[in-house]
Structure 1
Amino acid sequence: MAVEVKNSESQAKKRAFLTPKRILIVVGVVLALGVVGAIALNQLSKNPAFCGTCHIIKPYYESWKNSNLLANKHAAQGVECLDCHHKSYLEKAQEGINYITGNYSEPLEKLTFTREQCLECHEEDYEQAVAATEFEESNPHDSHMGEIECTQCHQMHDKSKVMCSQCHTFSWFEELDDSWEIES
């Protein structure tokens, strides 16, 4: 009988402790911490170094930070990861979940960018590039193939590829730095 009294006292104390008001406060605190955590994580994710904390992103971050590739040339101009890699909160959260659960492939699937996306920043540069690359033999920005996607040649995290070199040999190939790959 003494055991029954202790059990009923214990249950009464639990009921007294778990009042609707206390439950509401606990839920409120948990939600507030979640919101503050999400805001902090969102702010952290804007820093390119944050991207480099994931081993699958680290090579891309390193090419942005320390290479002779286009990613580093963009970094020198103050362009950061999220300037090109626009992600919604849900996409960022899904990427984080995929990383934690191991639900990704290595190497990561290559992202494709359209000419229009590149020209959002480079429209004026493009006209200058067309004029600046008017070589005696050819102009790679005025291709006989018509308007091609910038990424056919220009790569951010890998060597760029001189697509003209698949069929042509021009003297200006020799003037390119080692961030370019000449195909043969």
Structure 2
Amino acid sequence: MENKTQTSIKEIVMQKKVIYVIILLVLIAAGGMIAMAKASDKPEFCTSCHNMQSYYDSWHDGNLLAKKHADAGVNCHDCHQPSLTQQMDEGLKYVTDNFDDPMPKRQFSNEFCTKCHNMEDVKAKTLFDDKNGKVNPHDAHVGQQNCYECHSMHRESKLSCTECHTPQWLNKLPDYWKKTN
């Protein structure tokens, strides 16, 4: 009987140790996830992937729209909010060295852009004098276009108007715009 009691006590102690180890592992995993989430909020974290340095550089030091956004206090995750599935896919691509470099240009919807940019304000800022009078690339004669057709964050932006025209005001655009076809 005494031997059976000692065995029961040993089993209880062992079960408690297993529970404590499981709790410790869960706490370590949760702490790691929290630390990773905090680290990934910093734009510098993006450079830990092989092909992200140029994107960070254009945000941190460049003369592209990414730098304009950085100067306005916009960080990577303000625009890039990958789902858990996307993050896992990106991690797998990183580990297997299976990624595009450069990455394909993202095609954000107009609704995404206009969450921050008021189109009436944009149109007011982009009204130019031309030989034909006042013209505005954001009030184009071709109808509504997607913002990404002209605007690029991490690459030089290219005015789609130049596919058919050479606007007089093209040289008045900031440096991050391509000035020739």
| TM-score normalised by L of structure 1 | 0.83
The answer (yes or no) to whether the contact 1:52–1:62 under 8 Å persists in 2 is no
Secondary structure of the equivalent of 1:121? coil
Identify the residue that residue 128 of structure 2 maps to in structure 1. 135
What do you get for the CA RMSD once the two structures are aligned? 2.2
| Aligned match for 1:159, one of 147, 156, 160 | 156
- Structure 2 SS opposite 1:62: helix
Change (3 A) 1:102 1:139: same
Give the stretch that moved more between structures: 46-55 or 112-121. Answer: 46-55
* 1:179 equivalenced with 2:148 (yes/no): no
Could you tell me how far 1:183 is from its partner in structure 2? 4.1
AA partner of residue 32 (structure 1): L
Structure 1 unaligned blocks of 5 or more = 1-14
Q: Comparing 93-102 with 70-79, which one deviates more in the overlay? A: 93-102
Over residues 78-133 of structure 1, what are the superposed CA-to-partner deviations in whole Å (9 max), with x where a residue is unaligned? 0000000012344334422331232423222322101100000002xx21221232
Structure 2: gaps of 5 or more residues: 1-9
Among candidates 94, 104, 107, match of residue 109 of structure 1: 104
Letter in structure 2 aligned against 1:178:
D
- 1:1-184 equivalence runs, <5 A: 19-123=14-118, 126-137=119-130, 138-184=135-181
How far is the alpha carbon of 1:168 from its aligned partner?
Answer: 0.7
Q: Using the alignment, how far apart are the partners of 1:79 and 1:170 within structure 2?
A: 31
Question: Distance in 1 between the 2:180 and 2:109 partners?
Answer: 23
| Deviation of the 1:67 alpha carbon | 0.6
Q: Distance in 1 between matches of 2:100 and 2:91?
A: 14
Instruction: Give the conservation status (yes or no) of the 8 Å contact 1:161–1:180.
Output: yes
Distance, in Å, in 2 between the alignment partners of 1:174 and 1:154 is 16
- For residues 116 and 21 of structure 2, what CA distance do their matches in structure 1 show? 47
Q: Which moved more, 1:127-136 or 1:58-67?
A: 127-136
> Structure 1 residues 103, 20: closer, same or farther in 2, change over 3 A?
farther
Deviation at 1:52, TM superposition (A): 1.7
Q: How many residues align?
A: 169
TM-score of the superposed pair, with normalisation by structure 2: 0.84
